[in-house]
Structure 1
Amino acid sequence: MKRMTTWKRTFLLHATWALLWGTPAAAVTPSNVTKVSRVTGATPAGELLPNPNQTHTNHDVHGTDLGIVWDKGGGEVFVLFGDTFGAGWCGNGGCGGGWRSNVLARSSDTNLADGLSFSSMIQDGPRHAKEILASRKVNFDEITVIPTAGVTIGSRHYIHYMSIHHWGEAGMWFTNHAGIAYSDDQGQNWVKHPTARWQNTPAWTNNFQMAAFVRNGGFVYMYATPNGRFGNVHLARVPETALLDINAYRYWDGNGWSVSQAAARPVAIGIAGELSVSYHAPLGRFLMTYLNEHRQAVVMRDAATPTGPWSGEKVLASGAVYPGLYNAFIHPWGNTGNSLYFVMSQWTPYNTFLMRATLAHDAHSDNLLSEPGFETQAATRVMAPWYLQGSGGVDRALGNARSGQDNGFVYASSGWNALKQSVVVQPYTDYTLRGWVRSSTNNTAGYFGARGPGNGPILGEVPFGALGAYTEQVVHFNSGPNALIEVYGGLWADNGVTWMQLDDVSLTRGSNLIHQAGFEQQSTNNATSPWYTEGKAGIDRGLGHARTGTNNAWARNDTGWNAVKQEVAVTPNTQYTLTGWVKTSTNHADGYFGARLLRGGPILNEVRFAQPLGNYTQLSVSFNSGAQHSVEVFAGMWANNGDTWIQVDDLTLTRN
């Protein structure tokens, strides 16, 4: 692009931020989870928790759940609840009289260490919390309207909600649609927008029925799941100013942002229910929490960027300790130091509680697999996220583990037997899978690797035979077109009773952050996600112009700015190096290769190539990401001398 003097000022500012905040934060893991206070309901006999709100007498809220918290501005947060029951509450679960589909509280409490106190609740009469989003309350039509997320932009407040058609078995419900409501009077009255909706399918499979909102970089990111608690997590985003414009949403397709909702691919694999996502600024990590029904636990994932890669699940709170638990809605003011405050529901008391956890450095770093050492597997053969094919289970404190107390195993006298786990990946991206394996002396057909979902094609694997001691197995592979893969360790039991033990498994992404860096997966002459163009540009496919492979990108015109570009997720306050190979026409005189902020924002750094490049020439530029979680990398030229062109191939972006 045309060179600007602002990049120097921007770069210096970002470098200063990096000095102030130090090196980018690494992955974190929760511990020391405690119940701080009761948020709603009456204190039962024997409970010693603080109960600052006394909602049963002050607001006729005897039983309720959820507790979605967001910063509403003006020194307050909103706290939003689901189905709520009054003096006629049945006293066990969500049932009884005084039913309201949802109620809303306000809080200015900044000292969460002693509980979460309300300033007030939105009321429709003295001491009576108001239902803010009406529902028909007709089963198999619209039995209730449940909020799932909230966000405030300027002076307007927004709620994401789901219209429930009917309830199913435990953890299952069926929605008519999801939608957005808004309030312009501090939450007293709300309007369900008529077109800001995601209609469910006849088969109840729309992926955007329950949501969590995060503001970042001028966008609202909307993480979403299908109705119920058993779906994967998908992602969309929209400019803050267009939250009610359904056509302004763009959907993460595994590589970039698509206008097509059908193109959406997961950012995290379920089993996920009642999402909450927040950015923990002091630790520099995005945090995602949800209920994993199969694990009977509220779990946490973390990531450096909104699109991930998201870490494996880490148990935040267990149903064994807190029976009937669900949801963990993060309090935005609780993300201080190494603390995490969240509101959690329990079904049997059907009320909400403020919880606190400590976040510490995760020794597993950016491992994308959940439960890598099998350490929180309960007393069943194998629990999610690991699944068993054939015969096997988990050794618990039997002295067979490589580290910790537990390990996985298979043990059989015939057939294929394996431990496996599904995980979200980025298509056409390099990964490294590692794991430690020990096996019986008669094993001759063991395999450790990765393949497509549902026992799909093998992407990479290593064979192993008899291993008397734990031995590390390493597999390098490319994910190909897959957004989901399976990793596995297993064996064919062809020689009688045969066994394998597996421990300390990890999956990490390769270092190059550019997607489709050589343009080989571009299937048309027009650039497609994750590549975009400005002016006249596109893809040379099989024309013999590539530096390597068969494809390359080009820009060509006789006027104006023409470029290829890609949005790339980065870690804030981090130094990166961008390299690429460029060739130009003989009349070329004004080209630029670099990184800038999104939507044509200030340049972070660039290198100018003013002379013709008759052969592919490597260009390199370093920059600091500053406060950004996404940047735009570009290669382009000003066509000021008639018909001018550049060709681009083999880009890399790596963290220094």
Structure 2
Amino acid sequence: MYQKKKALYLLGAAVMVASTCFSGTAGAITPSGTVKIARVTGATPAGETIPNPNQTASNYQVEGTDLGIMWDKGGGEIFALFGDTFGPGWSGNGGGGSGWRSNVLAKSSDTNLADGLTFSTMIQDTPGHAKELLASKKIDNDEMTVIPTAGVTIGTRHYIHYMSVRHWGNAGQWITNYSGLAYSDDNGQNWTKSSTAKWMNNASYSDNFQMGAFVKDGGFVYMYSTPNGRFGNVYLSRVPQNNMLNIGDWRYWDGNGWVADRGLASPVAVGSAGELSVVYNTFYNRFIMTYLNEDRQAVVMRDAGSLTGPWSGEKILAKGADFPGLYNAFIHPWSTNSSDMYFVMSQWTPYNTFLMKATLNADSFGDNLVSEPGFETQDATPVMAPWYTTGNGGIDRNLGSAHSGQDNGFVRNNTGWNALIQKIAVQPNTNYTLTGWIKTSANNNDGLFGARVPGGGPIMGETHFTSLGTYTQLTVNFNSGNNSFAEIYCGLWATADMWIQMDDVSLTKTNNAVSQAGFENQPTNSLTSPWYADGNAGVDHGLGFAHSGANNSWVRNTSGWNAVKQEISVVPNTSYTLTGWVKTSTNMNNGYFGARAIGGGPVLNEVHMTTPLGSYTQQTVTFNSGNNHSVEIYAGLWADGDTWLQADDFSVAKN
């Protein structure tokens, strides 16, 4: 029998991205005022005063359980999906005991969450007994259990993403055999595991797509994923929503575009990440991601204006100090249209689930990729994640030395290199701006502030500074090159007792939404991600045809439609300006430059080029993104005889 329960695990929620006009802003947001509303599962222990509307112990023999992955199943109901579940004989305060089911499922039509989350029923195999949906062998080092990690409904078919757990290790560590998809065509009563829709783990148990969270948008299902355990980064994939079970149809985000090889996937956020949930909030027009950061002993939140990011730095949603043994924050899909966000959270002790509420507010730090930019929610010295130190450093807490707020970071020593550092996921070949407020001792003569490849790799950009008697803002502009991570740092080489104080750090991405806008990082003469071709198109490498730099794109053919194109992320219902430089053959009379919905969807706006362009000429198109989170930009022509077009230096910026 199952003796040692995992010390928490990573799972996901699904949500349909709404296509509406938005009542809030499109700016960054942050949570506050997190409170416990009600118990969702288990019996009410002595002394607990919060509501317990479901009484799952007596009604469904669910005495101990966790997770609570929620998604809209249609028909005015949601599904709420739970993990390892125990009945009479549960060992209490943690997983274990008898009546073990690897997973159970509830339905709810409750629209008033202010007094708790009430179930309509649970899926049962016999009256009063919640049914195990997906069977597991329950054999350690073979298949210990099968844990659901996400759910989504497409039409009348419901899907569960699950992980086959091979072995539970130390807290936050476990290994999986594979992850896969199961489906139900009878409203959740019976489920079939697909024999082909699986992501097999590798020999080192490091595959990046073993747990996930689903989001539906624009005819696709997007899946945010992590490796097994709780210490991995977050990755992204997608599939046309009607092709969920066709594993070969899934595509993986490589930092600039979508590719078939998941081994080329780049992270969209730096972990340690566990228990993922991702939704779209229509009030603020922002995507929200939540997960447990084991290193910080907190459930954290990130937000972004688009599915691919950039995702903000982490913001504390709930602390372990306030809710001991906390993990997961699965957001209720019907609480995504206001500033109140309801979510289900688990606590290892008492190994049950609770409905929580947080208030979302505008974030004064804006679209900042740095976690803990002002050091305000760090709880104890020495420096905790996500900041780390080389040499000697820490945090000044309420000492009156901050640039703003109460706290700031510092390094101090009389010898060697001493620095505050943080690792951040970045988009390859993209421009960034790093800023921070720095103050130093009078004898500092060798300070450095910048970004580099993690692990002491090449410098992407930095500035050298000496004595700064008052807080001074330093700025570094850099390009990420071919890297998916950047390590930002501020430090000094000490030769006597020297110190630096740092506060209010910011890292922001350039305003241009186009990746590899000048084709300089295209590795071959063929277009590669994020650029794609319709018809015959490619890249001129160092041939002297570029508008700027060494490279440019081209299309050329004797007939048909031929174009270069790229899918870019946008904020819905927002005005953008697309520009690019175009040159054509003397016989071109039917060219187009513009933006449309992805997949050959409706044109949002375009320029029709009916006369030849003998030299590079800037084309400009203003368009509104409509209900789209992604659009396709393009430059192309209908060929009639040997006709060509060259295009370079694209830009898309919000108006």
TM over 0.5: yes
Give the fraction of aligned pairs with identical amino acids, expressed as a percent. 66
The corresponding residue for 2:647 is 648
Q: What amino acid is aligned across from residue 506 of structure 1 in structure 2?
A: S
By how many angstroms is 1:210 displaced? Answer: 0.6
What SS is found at the alignment partner of 2:334? Answer: helix
In 1, Cα distance between the equivalents of 2:623 and 2:555?
24
The corresponding residue for 2:87 is 86
In 1, Cα distance between the equivalents of 2:587 and 2:286?
47
Deviations 1:524-574 (A, max 9, x none): 111000000001111111111111111110000110110000000001111
**1:378-393 equivalence runs, <5 A:** 378-393=379-394
1:214–1:277: 8 Å Cα contact kept in structure 2?
yes
1:115 aligns with 2:119: no
Deviations 1:140-172 (A, max 9, x none): 000100000000000000000000000001110
2:311–2:369: 8 Å Cα contact kept in structure 1?
yes
1:40–1:56: 8 Å Cα contact kept in structure 2?
yes
What SS is found at the alignment partner of 2:296? Answer: coil
In 1, Cα distance between the equivalents of 2:375 and 2:368?
14
By how many angstroms is 1:126 displaced? Answer: 1.4
The corresponding residue for 2:523 is 523
By how many angstroms is 1:380 displaced? Answer: 2.5
Give the ranges of 4+ consecutive aligned residues of structure 1 lying more than 6 Å apart after TM superposition.
none
The corresponding residue for 1:624 is 624
By how many angstroms is 1:221 displaced? Answer: 0.4
2:449–2:463: 8 Å Cα contact kept in structure 1?
yes
By how many angstroms is 1:22 displaced? Answer: 6.3
What SS is found at the alignment partner of 1:333? Answer: coil
In 1, Cα distance between the equivalents of 2:310 and 2:468?
33
Aligned in 2, Cα 1:34/1:270: closer, same or farther, shift over 3 Å?
Answer: same
Deviations 1:294-339 (A, max 9, x none): 0000000000110000000000000000000000001101113111
By how many angstroms is 1:378 displaced? Answer: 1.2
The corresponding residue for 2:581 is 581
By how many angstroms is 1:113 displaced? Answer: 0.6
Structure 1 unaligned regions, length at least 5: 1-16
TM-score where L is the length of structure 1: 0.96
The corresponding residue for 2:542 is 542
In 2, Cα distance between the equivalents of 1:493 and 1:573?
52
The corresponding residue for 1:98 is 99
In 1, Cα distance between the equivalents of 2:64 and 2:20?
49
The corresponding residue for 2:400 is 399
By how many angstroms is 1:459 displaced? Answer: 0.6
Q: What amino acid is aligned across from residue 206 of structure 1 in structure 2?
A: D
The corresponding residue for 1:59 is 60
In 1, Cα distance between the equivalents of 2:35 and 2:206?
36
**1:348-367 equivalence runs, <5 A:** 348-367=349-368
The corresponding residue for 1:344 is 345
By how many angstroms is 1:453 displaced? Answer: 1.5
Q: What amino acid is aligned across from residue 652 of structure 2 in structure 1?
A: L
The corresponding residue for 1:513 is 513
In 1, Cα distance between the equivalents of 2:64 and 2:282?
33
The corresponding residue for 1:170 is 171
Q: What amino acid is aligned across from residue 628 of structure 1 in structure 2?
A: N
Q: What amino acid is aligned across from residue 171 of structure 2 in structure 1?
A: A
What SS is found at the alignment partner of 1:332? Answer: coil
What SS is found at the alignment partner of 1:113? Answer: helix
By how many angstroms is 1:407 displaced? Answer: 0.5
What SS is found at the alignment partner of 1:294? Answer: helix
The corresponding residue for 1:440 is 441
1:268–1:424: 8 Å Cα contact kept in structure 2?
yes
In 2, Cα distance between the equivalents of 1:512 and 1:40?
47
**1:137-148 equivalence runs, <5 A:** 137-148=138-149
What SS is found at the alignment partner of 2:248? Answer: helix
TM-score where L is the length of structure 2: 0.96
The corresponding residue for 1:222 is 223
2:492–2:500: 8 Å Cα contact kept in structure 1?
yes
The corresponding residue for 1:14 is none
Structure 2 unaligned regions, length at least 5: 1-17
1:24–1:573: 8 Å Cα contact kept in structure 2?
no
Aligned in 2, Cα 1:260/1:299: closer, same or farther, shift over 3 Å?
Answer: same
The corresponding residue for 2:7 is none
By how many angstroms is 1:455 displaced? Answer: 1.5
In 2, Cα distance between the equivalents of 1:553 and 1:151?
39
Deviations 1:359-391 (A, max 9, x none): 010001100010000011111210100011110
Aligned length: 638
In 2, Cα distance between the equivalents of 1:394 and 1:201?
40
The corresponding residue for 2:464 is 463
In 1, Cα distance between the equivalents of 2:22 and 2:253?
30
2:184–2:190: 8 Å Cα contact kept in structure 1?
yes
1:18–1:574: 8 Å Cα contact kept in structure 2?
no
Q: What amino acid is aligned across from residue 651 of structure 1 in structure 2?
A: F
2:25–2:283: 8 Å Cα contact kept in structure 1?
no
The corresponding residue for 2:594 is 594
Q: What amino acid is aligned across from residue 599 of structure 1 in structure 2?
A: G
Q: What amino acid is aligned across from residue 320 of structure 1 in structure 2?
A: A
In 2, Cα distance between the equivalents of 1:616 and 1:24?
38
In 2, Cα distance between the equivalents of 1:383 and 1:231?
17
Q: CA RMSD in A?
A: 1.1
Q: What amino acid is aligned across from residue 544 of structure 1 in structure 2?
A: G
Aligned in 2, Cα 1:165/1:302: closer, same or farther, shift over 3 Å?
Answer: same
1:67–1:343: 8 Å Cα contact kept in structure 2?
yes
2:24–2:285: 8 Å Cα contact kept in structure 1?
no
**1:466-477 equivalence runs, <5 A:** 466-477=467-478
